[in-house]
Amino acid sequence: MACRFSELVVDSRNPEALAAFWAAVLDYRVLGREENGEVEIGPEAGFGGPAPTLVFQPVADPTPGKVRLHIDLSPTDRDQDAELQRLLDLGATPADVGQSGDESFHVLADPEGNEFCLLRTRLDP
């Protein structure tokens, strides 16, 4: 038996705000809140469903240095340009990680500076 990707835990200065941003980006909903300030978001099916959940845990200081992983997103119901505008309207910002400008993807940062990419390829929802 293999493992299955069930959740991604993200350190956050403001878990509520970051969870709200990513819930809007991914069309997720809040699944739960813990007394320690953690906020979990996910698809309607919840934890263990077909897609992983995201857990935002409070930390006093962001991780120093370059983060070693990031999320790649693919648009589902619109083209890349329209999705890029939606993400920018939600609070994402362009991020420069040394792109040449010829890439087929956009590098963005969430409101706390976590980098993610918007790919060109559309996927079914």
DSSP bridge pairs for 107: 117
Is there a contact between 52 and 72 (Cβ–Cβ < 8 Å)?
no
State whether 55 and 3 are in the same domain. yes
Predicted local confidence at residue 54, as pLDDT: 96
Here the CATH number for the domain that contains residue 16 is: 3.30.720.120
Predicted local confidence at residue 80, as pLDDT: 96
Predicted local confidence at residue 64, as pLDDT: 76
> What is the total count of domains within the chain?
2
State whether 49 and 76 are in the same domain. no
State whether 53 and 28 are in the same domain. yes
Is there a contact between 45 and 92 (Cβ–Cβ < 8 Å)?
no
Predicted local confidence at residue 103, as pLDDT: 94
In this structure, how many other beta carbons lie within 10 angstroms of the beta carbon of residue 80?
Answer: 18
Is there a contact between 28 and 42 (Cβ–Cβ < 8 Å)?
yes
State whether 78 and 118 are in the same domain. yes
State whether 1 and 56 are in the same domain. yes
Please tell me the distance from the alpha carbon of residue 80 to that of residue 61, in angstroms, as a whole number: 33
Range of the domain at 106: 69-125
Residue that is last in its domain, among 60, 82, 109:
60
Here the CATH number for the domain that contains residue 92 is: 3.10.180.10
State whether 55 and 77 are in the same domain. no
**What does the pLDDT profile of the chain (125 residues) look like in tens digits?**
588 889 999 999 999 999 999 999 999 999 999 999 999 999 999 888 889 999 999 998 877 777 778 899 999 999 999 999 999 999 999 999 889 989 999 999 999 999 999 999 999 87
State whether 83 and 52 are in the same domain. no
Predicted local confidence at residue 1, as pLDDT: 59
